[in-house]
Amino acid sequence: MDKINWMEEVSKRKDKFLSDLEGFLQIKSVLDEANATDEAPLGQGVKDALQYMLDLGEQDGFAVKNVGNLAGHLEMGEAGDELLGILGHADVVPEGDGWSVDPYSATIKDGKIYARGSSDDKGPTIAAYYGMKIVKELGIPLNKRVRLIIGTDEESDWRGVAHYFQHEEMPDMGFVPDADFPIIFAEKGISDFDLVMSADAATSDDELVLQAFQSGRRYNMVPDYAEARVSLPQEESEMIQQYQRFLADASLDGQATTENGQIIFSLNGMSAHGAEPRNGVNAGIWLAKFLQDLPLDASGHKFIAEIAEFYEQTRGEVFDMAFSDDISGDLTMNVGVMHYSKGSEGRIGVNMRYPVTFDMEKGKDTLTKAAEAKGLTVENLTDSKPTHVEKDDPLIQTLQRVYEDQTGEKGELLAIGGGTYARALDHGVAFGAMFPGRADVMHQKDEYAVVDDLLKATAIYAQAIYELAKAD
């Protein structure tokens, strides 16, 4: 076969690519368990996004399968016992606040397509799909089956792929278009847990009382909004002025209003992926930093103090768990969910990313003892183990060669704190679709993908599928 110009093949399909991507992005596929049904176990939007991809595949001649409305696949190739798997996901995190465009409009301007999911992970999933589509339409003989697996709960509990692999075969090798180029050969372990403070309703009449505190929607997101309600027995104007000075000194946006004998403090931060808390501005921690200096009731002050301790402490220092290795870098902790209501227990939800060589069993023991010393209990701890593929593995070497062919740049191997579906595979890595030097806007307001980058990624995926699955 003559040498294939993969980028030229992508360019021929650009208009249809963008049309299919826009349709996918316009589906609000945020987890909605409150309105779940048997037909839509994670909410109708998530179901619709899964079905969109299956319908697309069926229209283009792929063999498709819906696996319990929690996942599905699109498959090509009939020869060979081996299976190449590509894992993408159709769900997205909540859109958050402060967008300059409708987050589900798929607005294209200045060469970028703006929408929740454009970079995580609908844009890359469509790129991988079109990579398969190109190989299929060129009629290239394959010695492996190729399957694009669509998950639906990647941003939360991975119930989609868990259900899928209970019923379907595990690929012999695979890649995941849900991270960075060149190649992610190592991913940190991921653990979510709650720090729980028991209820204490006792107060005195002359105290400032923290009635409620709320910040964050997901463990794996840096919260971009926080709100606290404080009841007080005296004039509030001085406290409001104090808060305004705090905001001004820290160059933050927020406000303080009064309602029924309470001051309502609000603060706007900046959302970011919880894998690197330093990329965001944690609204909950910043609001706690202000509140910790007020003479609050004992229970309220304790809760606020526990949050404020995380200020500029994102590497596990709060629990004496700081750790780093040469393969995957630092252990990180993101305070993603904070909830307190007077007379009820307080909860602080933490997302921890730990290095490949970190001893998690010892880490759990350290965490539990440190929390107990603070009067807290650890609940609902989950643990997704790290993944690591050796540098000389044939899968790695093939993907490196493809990346270098298409970009002319060295295929460096990277390690990340983000968790991708690569850890759901027995033998797989994350492979794109964000190129070096691009801003990481996943999980942020005005999330976007550069259109030319998605097209380039499609060419890379097409060649990768060809190289990994072609007949000898």
| Catalytic (active-site) positions | 91, 154
Structure tokens at 313: 């402490």
The closest alpha carbon to 286, from 345, 243, 349, 230, belongs to 243
Helix (H) or strand (E) holding 466: helix 451-469
Contacts of 294 (CB under 8 A, 6+ apart): 208, 230, 239
Helix (H) or strand (E) holding 149: strand 145-151
Contacts of 331 (CB under 8 A, 6+ apart): 188, 315, 316, 321, 322, 323, 324, 352, 353, 354, 355, 358
Radius of gyration (Cα) for the chain, nearest Å? 24
Count of Cβ atoms closer than 10 Å to residue 361 Cβ: 9
SS3 state of residue 357: coil
Count of Cβ atoms closer than 10 Å to residue 446 Cβ: 17
DSSP letter for 68, please: T
Pairing relation of β-strands 413-416 and 253-259?
A: unpaired
The closest alpha carbon to 142, from 99, 97, 79, belongs to 79
Distance (Å, rounded) from C-alpha 181 to C-alpha 186? 13
Distance (Å, rounded) from C-alpha 444 to C-alpha 154? 17
Q: Is 139 exposed, middle or buried (0-12, 13-18, 19+ CB in 10 A)?
A: exposed
